[in-house]
Homo-oligomer: A and B are copies of this chain.
């Protein structure tokens, strides 16, 4: 007849997770209660502890438990390079690619006026201060190649160039191992347009 109220509340709360609809939320709640109570306990604790301990690094704006994160504190990173990414996940991808030895700035989003995300929401004032600290010689824009990411890159580049800072953008083109037959025509057109001498 009626689902117990604490179960109903759990199902409702699970819907806070992105991509989780009513059916999956129900399945998750039943799974936790039926097969993985220690997992549920662990998740409750992890949420609580992350809420209490995670904050934003004062320098790169990524998630950290200290005022300045380990990456920003590292003496091995080149302080003359600053890479701008949309999210901590993107930062992680860059690190996993092991192609970059400089520092980062994480916007925590991308410009999207329709969603109410303007220059202030993505901390462009802080980025500007960060990029003009006297050490940074080049700012590399590594926002996504989506409409929002491209608009953000354009806006940021105008902003920084006005201050006389060198700005670059990561390259667009075919993926490594990519075949012309399987790539979308927009990417192919860009790859031709941005071709390089060899």
Contact = CB atoms under 8 A, between A and B. Distances in A.
B33 A63 contact: yes
Contacts of A45: 13, 44
Contacts of A53: 4, 6
Interface string A1-32: 11111110110111011110000101111111
Interface string A30-62: 111110110111111111111111100000000
Contacts of A42: 13, 16
Interface string A64-84: 110001110010000000000
A44 B42 CA distance: 10
- Chain A contact residues: helix, strand, loop or mixed: helix
A53 B49 CA distance: 22
Contact of A27 (B12, B70, B71, B89): B89
Contacts of A92: 3, 26
Contact of A108 (B26, B29, B34, B95): B34
A74 B13 contact: no
A30 B95 contact: no
A51 B41 contact: yes
A22 B74 CA distance: 27
A139 interface: no
B13 A65 contact: no
A51 B33 CA distance: 7
12 contacts: A1-B69, A1-B95, A7-B50, A10-B47, A13-B39, A13-B47, A17-B43, A18-B28, A19-B24, A34-B109, A44-B51, A47-B47
Closest CB pairs A-B (n = 3): A16-B39, A13-B46, A44-B47
